[in-house]
Amino acid sequence: MLNTILIVDDNRNVLAALKLLLDREFRQVVALSSPNTLLRQIEQCRPDVVLLDMNFSAGLNTGNEGLFWLREVKRLYPQLPVVLFTAYADIELAVAGMKEGASDFVVKPWDNDRLIATLIRACTPEKGALKRKSQNESALFWSDSPAMRELRLMVEKIAPTDAAILITGENGTGKTLLAKEIHKLSARNDKPFMTVDLGALTETLFESELFGHVKGAFTDAKSDRAGKIEEAAGGTLFLDEIGNLAFPQQAKLLTVIQQRTVTRVGSNKAVPVDFRLISATNQKLDEKVLRGEFREDLYYRINTIHLEIPPLRERREDILPFAERFLTVFAEKYHKPTLKLSPDAARKLMGHPWYGNIRELEHAVEHAVIVSDGPELQARDFKLTPPMAKDNAQEITTLEEMEAELIRKCIAKCGSNLTTVAATLGITRQTLYNKMKKYGI
């Protein structure tokens, strides 16, 4: 018998029925009719699993409340399993919740045995090799296409060196995974791999996050704090989205790279730091240099070796191998071990342009695995974002599809400069990143 389950649902009849049912499986069943005290209850009762409804306010059925509270739980308690409780009409929301970290979902009206099995499975640690990769296993899937074979040979040559590497490629091609692979193959693999998303970092926080600060340097500086660069000492510093770095910050970063020292905000003491630098961007930095938007001296400092990851649509022979790999991963994750692609599904995947690249393909396969009914994934199980081409505009049927296409068109128009894209769309850069991640762009 498990210790504690915490149930959150605004229907008191549902809570009463669940309490009677689950009293036999859990020593303690804690029921909440409102999520407002959810985080406090988790802290007090330390549940094994949370069963969370998707809607609470009368008249609202968007599921946004459930997703909000799911994010809050996973932010504070990332290891706590959360099972979503949803109606048939909310299955798409439940799929979105799975991508936000939910362990599983149960549809109302529920089947008692299936509900119990889902809850027990959610709080039982996975034991497969899927969750525990060996130290020597690569997180990067090296396909057998000519482009990727050539890239792999180059990586094996340069990984053991300390050369600065610039990785370029469209969003979703796997630049971060490639950077991790280079670190794994380097002599620094037992030291930190520190990632800094420069695109998500506001200009006001740039120095504090990268360089650190001393106590009293500004209002909220309650104690000394090392920055990301110091934390990367001895290992690899990975600067993602470096093309979005504002011009004033480029000069400050250049100084650190040249001198290999960092000075915390509020201090005059320069601290020596040894790190290997890998940068990544989806932008054409050479063109930005010509336009005066990126420092030429910084460009050459970060670009001793340039690695370009080609988009998935230019190596179509990789589409099905990647899909099969993701199918294996998600079939095990969602306990559907016998799944395979139908011929129609394979043809649909091969015919899609994959502007979101491998990330879009991964999301599509995960969605299909979750909603599939039989042992074979059908073409209808794959919800693919329509391509940007004008002749496909009539296929767009939802606001989300319209928003995704608008973002793609704006990215193409602005030359992949995400700062300009965000400004053009009238949203913050962080909101843009969140939407790109949501749509697999």
- What per-residue confidence (pLDDT) applies to 383? 86
Q: State the pLDDT confidence band at 190, using cuts at 50, 70 and 90.
A: very high
Q: Is the pLDDT of residue 157 over 60?
A: yes
The pLDDT of 300-315, averaged and rounded, is 94
Q: Is the pLDDT of residue 312 over 90?
A: yes
Q: Between these two residues, 438 and 48, which has the higher pLDDT value?
A: 48
Q: Is the pLDDT of residue 104 over 90?
A: no
The pLDDT of 97-108, averaged and rounded, is 83
* Nearest-angstrom CA–CA distance, 211 and 196: 12
Range from 179-183, 230-234, 339-343, 388-392 carrying the lowest mean pLDDT? 388-392
The answer to whether the 146-308 and 312-439 domains have the same CATH topology is: no
Q: Between these two residues, 236 and 338, which has the higher pLDDT value?
A: 236
The pLDDT of 100-129, averaged and rounded, is 78
Q: State the pLDDT confidence band at 134, using cuts at 50, 70 and 90.
A: very low
Among 3.40.50.2300, 3.30.1490.190, 1.10.10.60, 2.60.40.10, name the CATH number for the domain at 2-122.
Answer: 3.40.50.2300
Domain ranges in the chain?
Answer: 2-122, 146-308, 312-439
Token digits for 286? 């050479």
- What per-residue confidence (pLDDT) applies to 85? 87
Q: Between these two residues, 66 and 167, which has the higher pLDDT value?
A: 167
- What are 1-57's pLDDT values in tens digits? 678 999 999 888 999 999 999 988 888 999 999 888 899 899 888 999 999 998 765
- What per-residue confidence (pLDDT) applies to 346? 94
Range from 7-21, 97-111, 427-441 carrying the lowest mean pLDDT? 427-441
Distances (CA, A) of 4 to 40, 43, 87: 15, 12, 24
- What are 343-369's pLDDT values in tens digits? 999 999 999 999 889 989 999 999 999
Q: Between these two residues, 316 and 202, which has the higher pLDDT value?
A: 316
Q: Are 191 and 235 in contact (CB under 8 A)?
A: yes
CATH topology (fold) of 146-308: Rossmann fold (3.40.50)
Share of the chain above pLDDT 90, in %: 46
- What per-residue confidence (pLDDT) applies to 390? 41
Q: How many Cα atoms sit within 13 Å of 371 on the Cβ side?
A: 21
- What per-residue confidence (pLDDT) applies to 425? 84
The pLDDT of 221-246, averaged and rounded, is 90
Is the sign of the CA dihedral 101, 78, 170, 322 positive or negative? negative
Among 3.40.50.720, 3.40.640.10, 3.20.20.70, 1.10.8.60, name the CATH number for the domain at 312-439.
Answer: 1.10.8.60
- What per-residue confidence (pLDDT) applies to 334? 87
Distances (CA, A) of 396 to 96, 136, 350, 392: 20, 44, 20, 8
